Structure 1
C-alpha cells in the first residue's frame, strides 16, 4: 500500500483525509500491524485508483468498462488478509469488473470471532449459503441459518462466526461510501 501511495504522490496525511481513516490506522496497515476489513481496503484502493486485489497481491485487473463479466467457480480470486487470519477467507466474485459499484465475495467463516469488530462506511448484504452464522451487530447477537439474509449499515460494529459442525459460507456484497458512486 505504501508503494502505491507514494506512486500517487500522496502523503499519509493526504490519504487519511481522502479516505476518512485516521493517519495512525493507515500507518498500522502499511506496517502490517493492523488488519483492515476488506471494505476498508476497498475504500483505500478506490482513493489510490487501484483494485483491492492489486493492493493485496499486485495482480492487475482487466482495463476498460465491460457490461457483463462472469466469474466461474474455479476463477474466484482468494483475497488474503494482511495478517493471514483464517477467521474469514474472502473469494472475490466481482474482481473482473473494473468499474464496479459493489464488492462481492463468497466468504468462508471459521468458528472464532475476528480479533476486532468491523466498522466501515457503506452497507452490506449477506446471504447465508451454508452453515449457521452467529452475527453480532451493534452489540446485539443474531443466529442466522442457511437461506437467511441480512442487510445493514456497516458503520456500526459488526462481526460473526460459524457455529455448529461446519464452517459458514456466506455471499457478502457491500457498497462503498455514498460519495463514490
Structure 2
C-alpha cells in the first residue's frame, strides 16, 4: 500500500477533506470513534457541539470523515468525552508495505519546544510483525533550555543533514556535522547537547524491535 501526497498539495487544515491514503484512514477511524463515544453518552450532534464548543456542522463533517480535525480539536473532543486522545485512533491499522512521504509533507508532532524554533515531523511509522521503524525529521532553528535526555526500547540512528551540534549519549558527547551518523541503544540516555551552528536538521530513526 503506497501513501503519497502530491508535491504541490498544501498541508491540510481543519475542515479540509482528507486527500492521502493515510489521511483518509485517520479520518475514517476518528469519525467512527467520535460517533461511537457520542452515541454511548446519549448525546445528539447538537448537544455534543454545545459541550465541546465546536460548530454542529464541523462535528458532522468529522463524524462523516469529511474533515481532518486538528490537534486542538481532538483535545476538545477528548476533554468533552472524558477519553484520552489516543482513544480516537483505536482500530487504525499501522502495518503498511510501503510508505512514501513527499518533501515537506511530514506530519508535524507537538513537542514541548515546538513553539521555540524546534520542529518535529513524523515521516510515517512502518510496522511489521517483528519490528517497527519510526523516522522523524528534526529541525532546530533556535537555542533553548537544555534538552531533556530520552530513553526508549530498541535502537536509534541519527543522520546529520545541516548545521553542527554535540549529541549526548550516555556520559559522552559526540560532535555531529553534515553527513555524520550516530547509532546507539535506545535505553542509553540521549538527546541534543550544545547547538553549535544553526539551523540544525537531522533524521532520527528508531527501530523498536519485536512487538511480541
**What range describes the TM-score normalised by the shorter chain of this pair?**
0.5 to 0.7
Q: Which residue matches 2:99?
A: 69
The TM-score, its normalising length taken from structure 2, stands at 0.49
Matching of residue 142 in structure 1 with residue 174 in structure 2: yes
Answer whether contact 1:114 1:159 (CA < 8 A) is retained: no
Are the counterparts in 2 of residues 123 and 151 from structure 1 also a CA contact under 8 Å? yes
Q: Residues 112 and 162 of structure 1 are in contact (CA less than 8 Å); yes or no, is this contact kept in structure 2?
A: no
Q: Which runs of no fewer than 5 residues in structure 1 stay unpaired?
A: 8-53
Equivalent position of 2:155 in the other structure: 123
2:120 corresponds in structure 1 to 90
Cα separation, partners in 2 of 1:84 and 1:128, compared to 1, 3 Å = closer
Gaps of 5+ in 2: 1-32, 38-84
Aligned match of 2:184:
152
The residue number in structure 1 matching 2:134 is 103
Aligned equivalent of 1:170: 202
Deviations, residues 46-97 of structure 1 (Å, cap 9, x unaligned): xxxxxxxx749x57897474321211113210111267564742101114x5
- Residues 123 and 152, structure 1, Cα contact 8 Å, conserved in 2: yes
Q: 1:121 deviation in Å?
A: 1.6
Answer whether contact 2:162 2:177 (CA < 8 A) is retained.
yes
Deviations 1:121-141 (A, max 9, x none): 211001001110211111211
TM-score, scaled to structure 1: 0.57
Residue 211 of structure 2 is matched in structure 1 by 180
Task: Give the superposition deviation at 1:179.
Answer: 3.8
Q: How far did 1:163 drift? A: 2.7
Greater shift, 154-163 or 126-135, is seen at 154-163
What is the alpha-carbon root mean square deviation over aligned residues? 3.4
